Amino acid sequence: MAVTRRQAIAAGAVALGQGAVRLPAAIAAAPATRNNVLWYRQPAAVWTEALPVGNGRLGAMVFGGTATERIQLNEDTLWSGGPYDPLNSKANPETVEQIRRLIAERRFAEAEAMANDCLIARPAGQMSYQTFGDLFVQVDLEDKPKAYRRELDLDTAVATTRFAIPTGTIIREVLASPVDQVIAISLSALGGAALNCALRFETPHDATIVAKGNEISIEGRNRPDQGVPAGLRIAGRIAASASGARVRAEGSTLFIDGAREATIVIALATSHSGDPVATVARQIVAASGKAWATLRRAHIAEHRRLYRRAALSLGPASPLPTDERIKANVADDEPALAALYFAYARYLMICSSRPGTQPANLQGIWNESTRPPWGSKYTININTQMNYWLADPANLGECSEPLLRMVRELAISGAKTARAIYGARGWVAHHNTDLWRASSPIDGAAWGMWPMGGAWLCNALWDRWDYGRDRAWLTAIYPLMRGATEFFLDTLQPTPQGLVTSPSISPENRHPFGASVCAGPAMDRQILRDLFDRTAAAATVLNRDSDFAQQLRHARAALAPDRIGKAGQLQEWLEDWDEAAPEQDHRHVSHLYALYPGHQINPDGTPELASAARVSLNRRGDESTGWATAWRIALWARLRDGERAHRILRSLLAPARTYPNMFDAHPPFQIDGNFGGSTAIIEMLLQSRGSSLHLLPALPKAWSTGSARGLVARGGIVVDLAWSKGSLTHVLLQPMESCTVAVRLGETRATIKLVAGHPVMLKGSRLAIS
């Protein structure tokens, strides 16, 4: 596939001073280092100790057992239920209007009760992401293994287990190939050892499992859920081959006797995208015809194409195993652990979200349950958006493509919801969705009566444009943004303070009047400012809908403004209720959207609001659930308090919030904390807005020396930077398009004209052009 100039620059592949594009040796052959590897001295005892591999569609958790290896498997379209319409039969615009009147009369509990009865979906929940099952590899061992080590190499995306037995060494490698669309396993016996093993597959689904020849075949159906019938067929094929040995089948089990080397290839599919039986048959035939070395080499090359675009160094890594590093970091800060966390988050993004797959859900693509926490769905009042904060600044922009496809599909069901419930044009989504793109409010009004999910997703799609400046992307997202704005033009309500949403909530937080339902919470107004601004800007760039763009600008100006309360805090609600709210340390900090991920509040342009945001943050506290802790780090970074951000980051990297396999501990596991925490690390080193670039805005003293390569700033600028003893040594700016950028380092400012394809080096604290 040909590489465009824009793609090559995003990969950091500009020949310095020549304006020509090439792949530098540093990218083509990045060395394997201790900080690209998670490793352990013992097998995983529980799921949150197992190591993840994935190709965006297929995922596996590798436990690294000795006599019995467990490999838990996922396929990203295996969810419960089937297509369904959850619209409440009582929902209609007249009911919404009654609820608005109750809110205006301050009868909040009555309004919430009516919303629960008449607007919340039926069923009140949504469908759940599912495990596919488990492959068990049982090995005959003559004695207790020694010299055990298991590891996950982030640079190769291969999980390896190695241990010694009296006659030699056993090695297992597991990968999830994005090229061949299979999970592949290599078994090797070195020295005088031999492989005598049994392969069996277990699944919680209604499926038939048959072993024949050298293959296990799985065919069945997914599970019904909450009255929604099963709507998917599922299929799997597991093929084994061995050198110098025979593979035989008995019942539903495969046996390998006396082999020196063996390869296992796994294909999984559902009927969500076609005939699953034909799909897995085709994939198994193609992959089984390739040698292990060929499968492995192609997989690594495709993984490294993305993984090696960016890197972070914060000093030497500890020689301890990863789980011991996490424990030791509580007492003795190890900056390199934060760099590993960043590298791991990029790895997880590559493995859980690729073009053509489903978006990363609450657990990415890894889930061992049929009833996972919160259904392992798409929670779109923060969590799904946080999943994609990392993609662009970490130079993985194309990993956002699944989000665009989900929003396109969600806009279709959301248009029906907008008409049926609100009598409005455009489309709406509330606080959750699933594989089937349900868009009605769910769970209960205290959580689900929030009409901003689609609007925030549109703002996330805009970020992809803002970082990459790909006009084709902007053309694709504009109809979605326009549809989202049309809904709010039809439903915003006038008040003395300005236009507001109603009914709504400040996500998942109760106000002092016995309910969550209200009118015009701060977050809604902040999201709409961005949505209206960005949709109008998109129309201007695309040279269309000028009258509509002007209408959006007028509506944006009419929105109720942010307010500062009597305690000096940024008000979470339209009225000054914060002091009396029942949860002062609530995990959500929704009213600070304007500070991060938004840009409406900043210490320079809106110092009073920034100070009020600081008060709100102090009141909420530093430590919360995993994802909420990550959000707090980013917020403190935006306030340029590197020491506070670093202190909270250390708590995120402690055992209470990071599992031994470095998955984020909400608890339980949610992948958003990994993505959000790593994005916050970038915010400590680099912040960008429009045509401005702020270098090292929140650098903590603990990170006195370091470097970052391949970060991306808004406006399409790839940034490499290095610092020593707390001072910048140099920064390399590589623009994807010609532009003028205002660069800031502390109080030093420089205006730089950049030409596409021509990198510019700035050196030292004076930002001198080299």
pLDDT exceeds cutoff 90 at 430:
yes
CB of 478 closer than 8 Å to CB of 485: no
CA separation for the pair 301, 422 (Å, rounded): 50
Beta-bridge partners for 73: 60, 133
pLDDT exceeds cutoff 60 at 274:
yes
Q: Residue 556 is encoded by which pair of tokens?
A: 């944006």
CB of 6 closer than 8 Å to CB of 736: yes
Specify the pLDDT at position 25.
Answer: 31
Displacement of CA 332 from its chain's centroid (Å): 29
CA separation for the pair 330, 320 (Å, rounded): 14
- Average pLDDT value for the chain: 95
Residue with more model confidence, 32 or 518? 518
Question: At residue 19, what are phi and psi to the nearest 5 degrees?
Answer: 70, 5
Q: For 95-117, what is the mean pLDDT?
A: 98
Closest residue by Cα to residue 344 from 184, 153, 173:
153
Confidence of residue 31 (pLDDT cuts 50, 70, 90): very low
CA angle 580, 584, 587 (to 5 degrees): 140
Confidence of residue 35 (pLDDT cuts 50, 70, 90): confident
List CB contacts of 281: < 8 A, sequence separation 6 or more: 237, 267
pLDDT exceeds cutoff 90 at 126:
yes
Q: What are the pLDDT digits (tens) for 446-488?
A: 999 999 999 999 999 999 999 999 999 999 999 999 999 999 9
Q: What percent of the chain has pLDDT over 90?
A: 94
pTM of the model: 0.96
pLDDT exceeds cutoff 70 at 356:
yes
CA separation for the pair 48, 665 (Å, rounded): 9
Strands 739-745 and 692-695, bridge-based pairing:
parallel
Beta-bridge partners for 150: 40, 161
Q: Which residues of 522-540 are buried (b: 16+ CB within 10 A; e: fewer)?
A: bbbbbbbbbbbbbbbbbbe
Peptide bond into 660 cis (omega under 30): no
pLDDT exceeds cutoff 60 at 22:
no
- Radius of gyration, alpha carbons of the chain: 26
Q: For 126-148, what is the mean pLDDT?
A: 95
CA separation for the pair 129, 48 (Å, rounded): 18
Q: For 755-765, what is the mean pLDDT?
A: 95
Q: What are the pLDDT digits (tens) for 600-609?
A: 999 999 999 9
Closest residue by Cα to residue 7 from 21, 18, 25:
21
Report which DSSP code applies to 571: P
- Work out the number of other CB atoms within 10 angstroms of the CB of residue 253: 16
Q: For 611-630, what is the mean pLDDT?
A: 97
Q: For 305-329, what is the mean pLDDT?
A: 98
Specify the pLDDT at position 615.
Answer: 98
Q: Which of 12-26, 125-139, 230-244 is predicted with the least confidence, judged by mean pLDDT? A: 12-26
Specify the pLDDT at position 770.
Answer: 85
Specify the pLDDT at position 14.
Answer: 38
Q: Which of 33-42, 478-487, 550-559 is predicted with the least confidence, judged by mean pLDDT? A: 33-42
Q: For 210-216, what is the mean pLDDT?
A: 98
Helices then strands, each counted (H, E), the chain: 19, 30
For every residue of 644-673, DSSP letters joined together read HHHHHHHHHTSTTTB-TT--BBSSSB-THH
Confidence of residue 561 (pLDDT cuts 50, 70, 90): very high
CA separation for the pair 556, 180 (Å, rounded): 48
